[in-house]
Structures are given as C-alpha cells and as structure tokens.
Amino acid sequence: MQVLVVCGVSGSGKTTVARALAKELDCPFLEGDDYHPQSNLEKMRAGLPLENSDRTFWLKRICEDLNKTTNLKVLSCSALNLYVQEYLNTNARDQIVWIKLNVTKACAERRMKNRNHFMPAALLDSQFKAWSPPQGGLDLDADQTIETIVDHVLEKLVSILRDS
C-alpha cells in the first residue's frame, strides 16, 4: 500500500490538505509535527532552523508509526530537503507518493499569521531556502482553496494508485 506524504513549507496547507484527504479516503492521518521531540520544538520556537541531525529521531518516530500497518495512510510532513525525503523513502515500508504543495511566500505568511503554531513566521525564509521538492508525485499550486487542491489530488491519485 502507499503512504501519501503531503509536503511543503510551513503555511502551504499541509495539515489541512492531509486531513481532508484522509477523510475523503477513509484512512489514518498522521501529523508530522506531533513526532518532534521537545528539543526540536524549543529550537524552532527560538527562531532557529533544524539541522539534519535534529531530524533523525523525529523521522525515526514517524517511520515507526508508518510501518505499524500496511494500510493506506496520509502524512503531513514538511520534507523540505533530500535528507528527509531519502530517509522516508528508505525507512517507510510502503511506497511514498509525494504530494507537493507549492505556495507563494505571501500566501504562506498570511496563513501563518492566522493560526497558532509553534514555528514563528521568521523561520519562513529558511524554509523557502531549504525547500527542495521531492522527485515524482504530484505538484500542486497551494494558493487555491483546500477543496480545489483535494479535488485535484483525488483526481490524479486514481491513476497513480492504479498504476503502482
């Protein structure tokens, strides 16, 4: 089975889109932020970007949950760089289908201001700088409504899931 990983910078709509997809597909939703150790949260709250060494324990915890079942599941995860993407591709038992949410900085900033999140908007520049979209999967314009994004994903997923 597959793991649908909804990825992108903070404010791209990962969590909202992933939750909506999981509901439509009647499958589990995993929030990547829930797996961060306290030290990572404190670092980000202080306005410091994470290094790859900070991410290893976080990714290990995500993969442990992903590998508990072989059922379809949806994960929201920034997956900003190749290190994270390769870790998930290598350590998740199931095939990853990347759903990349591309958003303008203005849209991401606006969304971040309208929510209560541990990561300050000041880290957004570092996220855009680090963002290296994974190869393959779906590329989506995340400046659209959530309903439009989910409809596009569901439309394209039919052929991806059928062909895998």
- The per-residue pLDDT for 123 is 76
Which run of H or E residues covers position 29? strand 29-31
Secondary-structure class of domain 2-163 per CATH: alpha beta
Confidence category of residue 73, pLDDT binned at 50, 70, 90: very high
Q: For residue 26, is it left (φ>0), alpha (ψ between -120 and 50) or beta?
A: left
HEC secondary structure over 94-159: CEEEEEEEECCHHHHHHHHHCCCCCCCHHHHHHHHHHCCCCCCCEEEECCCCHHHHHHHHHHHHHH
11-29 pLDDT per residue, tens = 899 999 999 999 999 999 9
pTM for the whole structure: 0.90
Backbone angles phi, psi at 56, to 5 degrees: -60, -50
- The per-residue pLDDT for 158 is 77
